[in-house]
Amino acid sequence: MRLDTTPPTSFTWPDIPYTAWRDTCAALHLYLQIVGKYRLSRTPWVNHSWHATFYVNARGLTTSQIVDGPGGAIEIEFDLIDHVVIGMGADGRTERFALDSMSVADFLFRFLDLIRALGGTAELHGRPNEIADAKPFAEDRQQRPYDRDAVTRFHQALIQVDRVLKQFRTSCFGKVSPVHLFWGSFDLAVTRFSGRIAPLHPGGVPALPDEVTREAYSHEVSSAGFWPGGGGVDYPAFYSYAYPAPEGFSQARVEPEAAFYSPELGEFLLPYDAVRLASDPDAALSAFLESTYVAAAKLGHWDRGALECSPGRPRQPRPI
């Protein structure tokens, strides 16, 4: 089964070298954690922590509606074009502050002030997750840079990745996650499920309760996504893994040629630049997503006939 990877127009995949904006990237990651933890504190739990994520939109990243405030809903947007954090209340109130050079503590206090101004509940868990030995937000007073151009190019990359991941998502009849950004690991991801219970996950993710990890991996998955860099990978990359990884998964043949299996990370990687510089970036990324999923599903003996379908197309309902 192949995706229709013909784009309607020629899209730009920007250059986003990680080392050039590493410090800004680390700061943005922590800012997203703060806002994500506010959403987490106010939102009923949904399977696999899907209730806590961000979504890519035309200007940046959004929480969607959070149940809080006098009108019953507050939404927080990171506008990565004008570089502001915007809070919108259902009662018509709007508050904002600029994204610029500051400390994590400064961001925390500005954000909590924004929530108070919207009439919301300015409370959240004060420590980062999935970052080893990280300081509590209120104690992290190191001045952080903010490279506006790098952040905007990162958003432009997210737009393209989000678009292809969403197209890939359409060829699954079974349980499949939204395309969403996890603020703990700072990755844009989509996950397919076999429908079967998975072995108990060992846990051990830095600064993350094992009960959260084990619930996230309670069922067999094939998951793929995108990192801007970090965690031992000093370049932006796509990844794909299976839990549990079936026998032979690491030796599976996947596409395109630049993809490889990382024993250290336990997953397949594809450098972002291999996609960006390809003659057809959409086709290169789609080949990676499809071939790594097929390896996981085939070797894991998933019921592919019940789970897979043709890719979605505008204005064409699925045949019954």
Residue 264 lies in a domain: yes
What pLDDT digit, counting tens, does each position of 298-314 carry?
999 999 999 999 999 99
Distance CA(104)–CA(197), nearest Å, equals: 39
Is 100 within a domain?
A: yes
Residues of the chain predicted below pLDDT 50:
7
pTM for the model stands at 0.95
Are 172 and 303 contained in the same domain? yes
Residue 3 is predicted with a pLDDT of: 54
Tokens of 71: 């009108």
| pLDDT given for residue 232 in this prediction | 83
Q: Identify the domain containing residue 170 by its residue range.
A: 148-307
Q: Are 188 and 162 in contact (CB under 8 A)?
A: yes
Distance CA 145, CA 262 (A): 31
Token reading at 177: 């996650």
Last residue of a domain, one of 85, 110, 139: 139
The answer on 199 and 92 residing in a single domain is no
93 lies in some domain: yes
Question: Is 278 a domain residue?
Answer: yes
Domain membership of residue 2 (yes or no) is no
Number of separate domains in the chain = 2
Domain boundary among 110, 139, 168: 139
**Is residue 7 in a domain?**
no
Instruction: Answer yes or no: do 266 and 192 share one domain.
Output: yes
Return the pLDDT at 10. 72
Residue 9: the pLDDT is 54
Q: Which pLDDT value is given to residue 241?
A: 98
Do 116 and 95 contact (CB within 8 A), yes or no? no
H or E element that contains 194: strand 187-197
Quick check: is 319 in a domain?
A: no
Instruction: Assess whether 188 and 290 both reside in one domain.
Output: yes
Q: Does residue 294 share a domain with residue 183? A: yes
For residue 68, give every residue at least 6 positions away whose Cβ sits within 8 Å of its Cβ, in sequence order, or none.
Answer: 42, 74, 115, 120, 121
Domain end call among 139, 167, 184: 139
Helix (DSSP H) and strand (DSSP E) numbers for the chain: 7, 11
Does 254 share its domain with 158?
A: yes
Distances (CA, A) of 314 to 271, 286, 304: 30, 18, 24
CB 205 within 8 Å of CB 213: yes
Query: Locate tokens 């990280």: which residue?
Result: 134
Same domain, yes or no, for 61 and 154? Answer: no
